[in-house]
Amino acid sequence: RLTLEIERRVYSLLNKPRGVLTTNYDPAGRPRVVDIMKGVTQRLFSVGRLDQDSEGLLLLTNDGELANKLAHPRYEVPKTYVVQVAGRPTAEDMAKMRKGVYLSEGRVAVDNVRKVGTRGRSMLLEVVLSEGRNREIRRLLARLGHKVMRLQRTAIGPISDRNLQPGEYRKLRPEEVEALRKPARKSRPPHKKSPAAHP
C-alpha cells in the first residue's frame, strides 16, 4: 500500500542575532539561522532576508506558497525597522527618503520614516518599507551622507514580538498566520521592478 505523508506546516518567528546568515549553505562555516532552529526537521524558507550585519524578526516557514507571496514586491507587505544612524538626519533628508532617492538601479523610496530618539551623536529612525532591494536602507542613507550603525527589523506586516530575545524563536499562533495570509491575498501591480531582497 502506497501512503503519502503530508509534511506538517511550520510557521516560526525568529529574532535573528547580528552576525548570523540567513543562507542555508555557507562554505566559510559561519553561523546560520538553520543552526539556531534546533529540533526542526523540515526545510524552512526565510521570508525576506536580513543581511549578516542586520538583526531582528525573521519569518521561517515550509509553506512555500505563502513565503513566495509575502516576499514578492507586488503584495507590498510592510516591514518595520529601527535604524541607528551616525549623525542627525534632517527633516529634509527624511522627506527625500519618502519621495525617493536615485541609486544605481533607479529610484528607491520608503513608505515612511520618522525620528524615534537619539543616542549620543546618532539618531534612531523608524523606517517602514514594503519593498526591499539589496541593502536598500543602508544604501539609501549612505547616499544622504549617514552611515547605518545598527539595523533591526521590529515587525513583519502585523507580526511583532518585543519579548523575543536575540537567538530565540517561537511558533506563530494560528491567528498570526491568518493575519499574514490576508495581505498576501490582496495584491497590487508592482510600481518598481525589482526582486525582493534584504535591506
Q: Is residue 119 exposed (0-12), middle (13-18) or buried (19+ Cβ within 10 Å)?
A: exposed
What cell does 191 get?
A: 510600481
Which member of 26, 51, 111, 161 is catalytic?
Answer: 51
Contact 22, 32 (CB under 8 A): yes
What's the grid cell of residue 12? 516560526
Cα angle value 50/135/197 (rounded, 5°) = 60
Q: What is the DSSP letter of 27?
A: T
Q: Cα angle at 60 between 66 and 98, to 5 degrees?
A: 75
Element (H, E) at 173: none
- Residue 51 falls in the annotated catalytic set: yes
Query: Residues 75, 69: contact at Cβ < 8 Å?
Result: yes
Residues belonging to the active site: 51
